[in-house]
């Protein structure tokens, strides 16, 4: 199953794969070169397909938990001053996605979207300290009766497009699709101070399934 954001790129990749290999079969007499071209173009096609995969996730809906919004590795767990929405101290959990991770973004909690904003910006490497404030990014805040959570999609050096489906006023389901980041990046989650964190630095998490915090 593939994400809808990849349909156009996947179609182009398939056409190129077929076209290049048909051309090599017609124009090149060397079987070794034909095989080499086939292997290289197949590897490229597989890379595109795996990047846009959208596996089904079994989210256990629980108003007392916060699930990881994306797949990746936990690279930050620290108290920071959140400047854009809360304007106070929050517990930041950052998850870094490599190009081989699933890049679907999912809602970490159920509730109402009370804030959703896109910011154009730079393309610093995702782990750069200023990436969360200077890179292209989107900020989304979801609120329910128990908690208000902000999560921020941040573009990296390779990510050139962030897709955000969250719109202010809509009710969202925990673990549901909220967007996509193309070609590697990071997502920051901001939780209230005192929230019990269930993950550790360098731990790998799965979007929509791994519980990163408990109320």
Residues with catalytic roles: 185
d(Cα 28, Cα 141) in Å, to the nearest integer?
A: 56
DSSP 3-state of 123? coil
Provide the strand spans (E) within 98-210. 104-106, 111-119, 137-143, 148-155, 162-164, 171-172, 177-181, 185-191, 196-197, 204-205
Strands 177-181 vs 148-155: parallel, antiparallel or unpaired: unpaired
* Cβ burial, residue 206 (10 Å; 0-12/13-18/19+): middle
Cα separation of 106 and 173, whole Å? 9
d(CA 175, CA 56): 10
Beta bridge partners of 205: 72
Q: Which helix (H) or strand (E) holds 75?
A: strand 72-82
Smallest CA-to-CA distance from 166 within 115, 90, 108 is with: 115
Rounded to whole angstroms, the Cα distance separating 135 from 160 reads 10
């Amino acid at each position: 199953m593939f994400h809808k954001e990849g349909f156009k790129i996947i179609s182009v990749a398939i056409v190129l794969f077929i076209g290049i290999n048909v051309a090599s079969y017609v124009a090149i007499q060397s079987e070794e070169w034909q095989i080499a071209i086939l292997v290289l173009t197949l590897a490229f096609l597989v890379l595109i397909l795996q990047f846009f995969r959208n596996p089904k996730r079994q989210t256990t809906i629980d108003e007392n938990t916060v699930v990881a919004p994306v797949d990746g590795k936990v690279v930050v767990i620290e108290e920071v001053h959140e400047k854009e929405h809360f304007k106070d101290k929050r517990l930041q959990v950052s998850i870094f996605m490599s190009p081989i991770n699933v890049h679907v973004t999912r809602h970490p909690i159920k509730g109402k979207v009370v804030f959703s904003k896109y910011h154009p910006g730079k393309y610093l490497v995702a782990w750069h300290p200023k990436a969360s404030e200077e890179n292209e990014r989107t900020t989304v805040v979801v609120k329910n009766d128990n908690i208000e959570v902000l999560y921020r999609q941040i573009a990296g050096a390779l990510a050139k497009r962030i897709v955000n489906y969250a719109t202010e006023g809509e009710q969202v389901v925990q673990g549901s699709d909220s967007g996509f980041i193309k070609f590697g990046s990071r997502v920051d989650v901001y939780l209230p101070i005192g929230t019990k964190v269930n993950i550790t630095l360098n731990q790998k998490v799965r979007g929509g399934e791994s519980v990163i915090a408990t109320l």
